Structure 1
Amino acid sequence: MATPISGGSGSVREVELPRVAGVAWPTRAARSETPFAQGVRRLRRSTTALFGVAIVAVLILVAVFADVLAPESPTASDQTQTFAVPSWEHPLGTDQLGRDMLSRVIHGTRISLLVGVSSVLLALFVGVPLGMIAGYHGGRVDTVVMRTMDLILAFPIYLLAIILMVMFTPTAGLIGTMKVTGAIAIVRIPIYARLVRGSVLSIKEKEYIEACRALGLRTPWILFRHVLPNCLAPIIVTTTLGIATSIIVEATLSFLGLGTQPPTPSWGWDLKANVAFIQANAWLSLFPGLAIFVTVLGFNLFGDGLRDALDPRLK
């Protein structure tokens, strides 16, 4: 193998190194695998995580193309087809108003994912900055922020969501969906604030953070450029699992009559409306319940796979 060597006059010439049997000279420096690549590799090896990803992907496609996939309008009623059993014409049957249950389940996917994802993103938008500020500055700022978060966490999640929805007054349509999203987001803000604060408390003592302070870098730059990227792994995992929890909370609120209001299709509301007919027409409650189960299962499997892939303690 030829290796460049500097000559006495400054010129560079190649010298042939001796070949030794059984020894392979390195031709270039080995590149280390990035933590992100390691996480992706471990995620791809997890069968349960891939199963969760497949479920989530199918749900997203159903939500996006609900208008195309649904055979009928979810609000169209036919009084001559009430309580129709599952058939080729109505694969999941019809409810007490003659509405096609398959169409309602398909469109309910859009509402559930919209509320679940939007509420988590809104909670992230508020909770992550609060957690970073409290953990980085400490002192009175930390005390005020975290005691406020503790006050919110003192309420059981469902009780606080119910109280908030009573205050907001449930309504139908997009406004009603936004109210449900806001109530669930408020409930979840302390979770992300406490999570990020704990990570910041350990990261801010690192040498590279001290170096940033010594260089006179501004606090927002340090937080968002150097602190936040090192908190992303637990945030991503908690966010994925939080979507499943938010979907359950939305279904619970709708079942209690405080969530998504008719005629907007909702899995929780369909359970509430059809629970009185469960003995004679069990399928009316079975299919919305299965939709909630499959959705929550998919996000939980995906979240568990992300945790196993991104947690450095499991390497």
Structure 2
Amino acid sequence: MKSLFSSSMAVAVAPPLEKPARSETMWAQTSRRLRKSNTAVFGLVVVVFLVLVAIFADVIAPYSPTANNPNATFEAPSAKYLLGTDQLGRDMMSRIVHGSRVSLTIGLSSVVLAIFVGVPLGVIAGFYGGKFDTLIMRAMDVILSFPVILLAIIIMVMFTPTDGFWGIVKVTGAVAIVRVPIYARLVRGSVLSIKEKEYIEACRALGQRDPLVLLRHILPNCLAPIIVAGTLSVATAIIVEASLSFLGVGVQPPTPSWGWDLKANVAWIQESPWLALCPGFAIFITVLSFNLFGDGLRDALDPRLK
């Protein structure tokens, strides 16, 4: 009887509940999608390689990029001079390696500077509207009415061309100015869309101040397009810098610059083609890599854009 009673009163024990799977964050999804894109991975690998070359240029370059050697002018590529020498006897490989530092410094710095200026302008114009929006956007329209290269040239001719650090600073500022409207218009459009969401209206109804709403709820939702635009803009900035140097209003010699080396050696394209091909190829592969990585990053952040 006891066994029957105990068996009849037995209660089935339910199996333990499984822990719910963690939801994947947006950045984890982006990283996973990015790894599936061979072109984006290739672009990222090349970009990282170029950044490392720029950082360790003093170690990688076999010679000084500004040292003249009258006894070794127009040397063909060899074991001693891997990419040959120019009309002044300067080692081209050393100039290409150190030129990567100049191009990447200007490209990355100008984009960061343009973001720091353009994003606040776009936020103010989109969030507050009215006279702020009209004034800021009309100023951006004036800048956009000029071709990028032409406006950069106008800005550069206002200053005395110099070499070295200050030459790089001037070119960085000129390139940043012509890129500011890109971020101002981009962020303004995003803010206009986001500020109409219900959770933004709820935050304001609860008494949250505008700076807090902007920093905690609006700006984080603008990061993805800013990152994509910034990555793609580095390629454009490098082209603008090379164009300014090619035209003689950018970084001045003897500071190594791909654009200046291309200009200085294009006259010898038939006798010594490697002198012009090397800086030209450096510009090409750098711009291509940033574009491939930027396109892959855009698709990874928003697969609907494919």
* TM superposition score category, shorter chain reference: over 0.9
User: What is residue 199 of structure 2 aligned with on the other side?
Assistant: 208
Q: What is the total number of aligned residue pairs between the two structures?
A: 296
Q: 1:80 aligns with which of 71, 79, 89?
A: 71
1:109 to 93, 96, 100: 100
3-state DSSP class of the match of 2:21? coil
What is the CA–CA distance in structure 2 between the aligned matches of 1:171 and 1:309, rounded to whole Å?
41
AA in 2 matched with 1:295: T
CA displacement 1:248-293 (0-9 Å, x = unmatched): 0000000000001011000000011111111111110000000001
How far apart, CA to CA, are the structure 1 residues paired with 2:70 and 2:135?
Answer: 58
1:127 paired residue number: 118
Instruction: Report the counterpart of residue 16 of structure 1 in structure 2.
Output: 13
- Paired residue for 1:191? 182
The CA distance in 2 between the partners of 1:195 and 1:170, in whole Å, is 32
Distance in 2, matches of 1:221 and 1:272, equals 51
Counterpart CA distance in 1 for 2:160 and 2:145 is: 23
Offset from partner CA, 1:167-210 (integer Å, 9 cap, x none):
12221110111000000000000000000000000000011111
Alignment match of 1:35 (pick from 26, 43, 52): 26
Q: Report the Cα distance in structure 1 between the residues aligned to 2:131 and 2:305, rounded to whole angstroms.
A: 36
Poorly superposed stretches of 4+, deviation over 6 Å: none
Partner of 1:260: 251
What SS is found at the alignment partner of 2:93? helix
Q: CA deviation at 1:26?
A: 4.6
User: Which whole-Å CA distance do the structure 1 matches of 2:105 and 2:305 have between them?
Assistant: 32
1:225 aligned residue (216, 221, 225): 216
Correspondence for 1:281: 272
User: In structure 2, what is the Cα distance between the partners aligned to 1:64 and 1:172?
Assistant: 20
Are residue 45 (structure 1) and residue 36 (structure 2) matched?
yes
How many Å separate the matches in 1 of 2:126 and 2:210?
Answer: 12
1:146 Cα deviation from its structure 2 partner: 0.4
User: Which letter maps to 1:112?
Assistant: S
Other-structure match for 2:289: 298
Aligned to 1:161: 152
- In the TM superposition, residue 214 of structure 1 has moved relative to its aligned partner by 1.1
1:75-114 CA-partner distances (Å, limit 9, x unpaired): 0111000000100000100000000000000000000000
Distance 2:12 2:301 in 1: 46
Unmatched 5+ stretches in structure 1: 1-13, 20-24
- 1:222, 1:312 → 2: CA distance? 28
Percent of aligned pairs with the same residue? 70
Higher mean alpha-carbon deviation, 212-221 vs 53-62, is at: 212-221
- How has the CA–CA distance of structure 1 residues 15 and 219 changed in structure 2, closer, same or farther, with 3 Å as cutoff? farther
Normalised to the residue count of structure 2, the TM-score between the two structures is: 0.94
Q: Which residue of 2 aligns with 1:6?
A: none
What RMSD in Å do the two structures reach over aligned CA positions? 1.3
Per-residue Cα deviation, 1:218-260 (whole angstroms, up to 9, x for no partner) = 2111112110110111110100000000000000000000001
Whole-angstrom distance in 1 between the partners of 2:141 and 2:211: 25
3-state SS of paired residue (1:99)? coil
Counterpart CA distance in 1 for 2:304 and 2:204 is 29
User: Match of 1:168, SS?
Assistant: coil
1:67 equivalent in structure 2: 58
